[in-house]
Amino acid sequence: MLGWFLAVLFFFVLGLALGAAVAWWYARQEAETPATASDAPEVIPPQGLYVRWEPDAEHQVRVFFQGKAYKRSWDLPDKARYEFQRYLHRLIQWFDEPGSGSAPATDSERPRSRAKTAQLSTAAVVSMYEEIDAVLQQLLIQRGLPHKVSLRYAADVMQLFIHVDAERYAHVDDIPNPEIRALIREAARLWEQRR
């Protein structure tokens, strides 16, 4: 009877030892396995434009610019908005224009020439600023302001210039008149709401 009890005790202890060994080996394997991309925490770059798909976000994307998250483009500070627009304009050109290292496309593969594509991309940006300028002109008339204010996009340098009377400004914040700054921002908001 004692022999039977010792045999059961032996196998019980052996089972515990094997269980502990398997658990140790499994934990060691887990520790040595490199994390996959989905396991690693997402690192937001401190510089540049970063866009990630986020189905829960308002527009199903989350936009990070210079390391900060923004819900809408109009939440960007004015100087950052200018840089953001330059990134987007270059991104549009990147999508539309084949790179210099790529194989030349045949006529059937090429929907339009590079020059025509660049013109279309620039034309869309120019059109946007012309539409905002039209809203601005309506607001100027409604408010009866004595200043001549206009928005002009210089495609060659990819820069928006704001003309106030005889002066030219590169950023809204550079304009000394707070009423005109507010009016330009209101025109941009109204334009965005109408789209």
Is residue 157 assigned to a domain? yes
DSSP state of 135: H
d(CA 195, CA 187): 13
Q: Is the pTM of this model over 0.85?
A: no
Give which of 91, 83, 42 is closest to 65, Cα–Cα.
83
Half-sphere exposure of 168 (CA within 13 A, CB side): 6
Q: What is the pLDDT of residues 36-52, one digit of tens each?
A: 545 566 788 888 777 77
Same domain (yes/no): 187, 174: yes
Is residue 131 assigned to a domain? yes
Is residue 105 assigned to a domain? no
Same domain (yes/no): 48, 78: no
Q: What is the pLDDT of residues 88-138, one digit of tens each?
A: 777 766 665 555 454 544 544 444 444 444 444 677 777 888 899 999 999
Same domain (yes/no): 182, 125: yes
pLDDT value, residue 165: 92
Structural domains of the chain, count: 2
Same domain (yes/no): 60, 136: no
Is residue 10 assigned to a domain? no
Domain membership of residue 154 as a residue range? 73-98+111-194
Q: What is the mean pLDDT of residues 71-91?
A: 73
